[in-house]
Amino acid sequence: MKVKISADSTCDLPRELVEKYDIGIIPLYIVRDGESYKDGVEITPDDLFDYVDSGAGACHTAAVNIADYTDAFTSYLREYDAVVHINISAAISACNQNALIAASEFTNVFVVDSKNLSTGSGHLVYDAALMAAEGVAPEEIARRVSDLAPLVDASFVIDKLTYLHKGGRCSSLAALGANILKLKPCIEVTGGKMDVGKKYRGSFDKAVSQYVADKLSNAGEIDGRRIFVTYTTRVPPEIALSLTDTVASYGIFDEIAVATAGCAISNHSGPVCLGILFYRTRVKGEPNENV
């Protein structure tokens, strides 16, 4: 059985992986000046940043609509026997709800809530593609991916809260205070929702260094098969390269994949944002049975 793996554009998977496994990417929309543009197809993160920098205002994201999902699933099923589609967390976007409505018109489309965003969901898409390549049945792929979702550790360090403020996700006072105190907040995905974790103080590169040390401090609870180093397009190249080298120096991961954030993620994080995303061996917060 041929199984098509698809995802919305927030999964931020590198183009080479998308092409290698023929992963279908269904774009969200970026709304600018009242006009809608397809993420990564009709608009890029740098287009978005340039628009905001010009003082013209803020852009907004819009979920993939039901018709887009229906069209995509119909197209995939002309070549494949089944589709497993993986979405950004249902607690963050209406994409999952819209995909489920579209999938209800088919008997062979399986929709999974990743409970993640960016390459946090990208991990699940990647693993689903590997399962499909091995001939795993679509129902089983969907089940396994759903089981993996709570094990993803997804987080980012943001240089400034300006874009979160523009998008209505933090107050003016919080943004001003963070900028004055030079705080670099860590945004974590917990239970499918975005929460503010530790706040780092000082320059962005120092904050990132401490963030990585905090995240990778307990190697025994980390699944070392893969990590994504994911960053926005305007992170200084030397910081991105240094981070990748630092992650490699821990000797934990078999695969270090590098990805850049698309428009949907960049529109909330701003131009300078960087994160490491990986699997844990148990759900964060759950007691360790080996203790």
Sort 274 into a burial class: Cβ within 10 Å, 0-12 / 13-18 / 19+.
buried
In terms of domains, do 54 and 28 share one?
yes
115 compared with 56, residue with greater pLDDT? 115
Residues 10 and 133 in one domain: yes
pLDDT score at 185: 87
Q: Do 169 and 265 sit in the same domain of this protein?
A: yes
Characterize 235-256 residue by residue with b for buried, 16 or more Cβ atoms within 10 angstroms of its Cβ, and e for exposed: beeebbeebbebbeebebbeeb
CATH number, domain of 12, equals 3.40.50.10170
φ, ψ (nearest 5 deg) of residue 217: -70, -30
Answer yes or no: are the C-beta atoms of 17 and 126 closer than 8 Å.
yes
> Same domain, yes or no, for 130 and 170?
no
- Boundary (domain end) residue, out of 92, 126, 149: 149
* pLDDT above 50 (res 170): no
Phi, psi at 49, each rounded to 5°: -65, -40
- On whether both 67 and 85 belong to a single domain, the answer is yes
Work out the mean pLDDT of the chain and round it to a whole number. Answer: 90
Report the C-alpha gap between 58 and 155 in whole angstroms.
24
Q: Which residue has the tokens 């999964």?
A: 11
Which residues are CB-neighbours of 39 under 8 A, at least 6 positions away? Answer: 9, 10, 27, 28, 29, 30, 61, 262, 263, 264
| Within a domain: 267 | yes
Return the half-sphere exposure (C-beta side, CA atoms, 13 A cut-off) of residue 140: 9
Please list the residues that pair with 6 across neighbouring strands. 24, 85
Maximum C-alpha span of the chain: 57
51 and 135 together in one domain: yes
What percentage of the chain exceeds 70 in pLDDT?
A: 90
For residues 163 and 161, what is the distance between their CA atoms, to the nearest angstrom?
A: 6
pLDDT of residue 166: 55
Residue 163's pLDDT is what? 60
Three-state DSSP state, 244: helix
Within a domain: residue 189?
Answer: yes
pLDDT at 175: 39
**Per-position b or e across 169-185, b if 16+ CB within 10 A of its CB:** ebeeebbeebeeeebbb
pLDDT per position as a tens digit, 143-169: 999 999 999 999 999 987 666 545 554
Segment 7-15 shows an average pLDDT of 97
Q: 229: which strand partners?
A: 258, 276
Mean pLDDT of 198-213: 90
Domain housing 262? 151-280
The pLDDT of residue 192 = 93
pLDDT one-digit tens code per residue, 254-278: 999 999 999 988 998 899 999 999 9
Indicate the SS3 state at residue 122.
helix
Give the three-state DSSP class for 127. helix
Q: Which residues, 6+ apart, have CB-to-CB distance to 227 below 8 Å?
A: 247, 252, 253, 255, 256, 257, 276, 277, 278
Looking up residue 161, the CATH number of its domain turns out to be 3.30.1180.10
How many other C-beta atoms lie within 10 A of the C-beta of residue 137? 14
Q: Are 208 and 157 in contact (CB under 8 A)?
A: yes
| One domain for residues 21 and 101 | yes
* Claim to verify: residue 138 and residue 169 sit in the same structural domain: no
Q: Tens of pLDDT along 26-84? A: 999 999 999 999 999 999 999 999 999 898 888 999 999 999 999 999 999 999 999 99
Q: How far apart are the first and last CA of the chain?
A: 43
Q: What share of the chain is helix, strand, coil (3-state, %, to 5)?
A: 40, 25, 35
* 94 part of a folded domain: yes
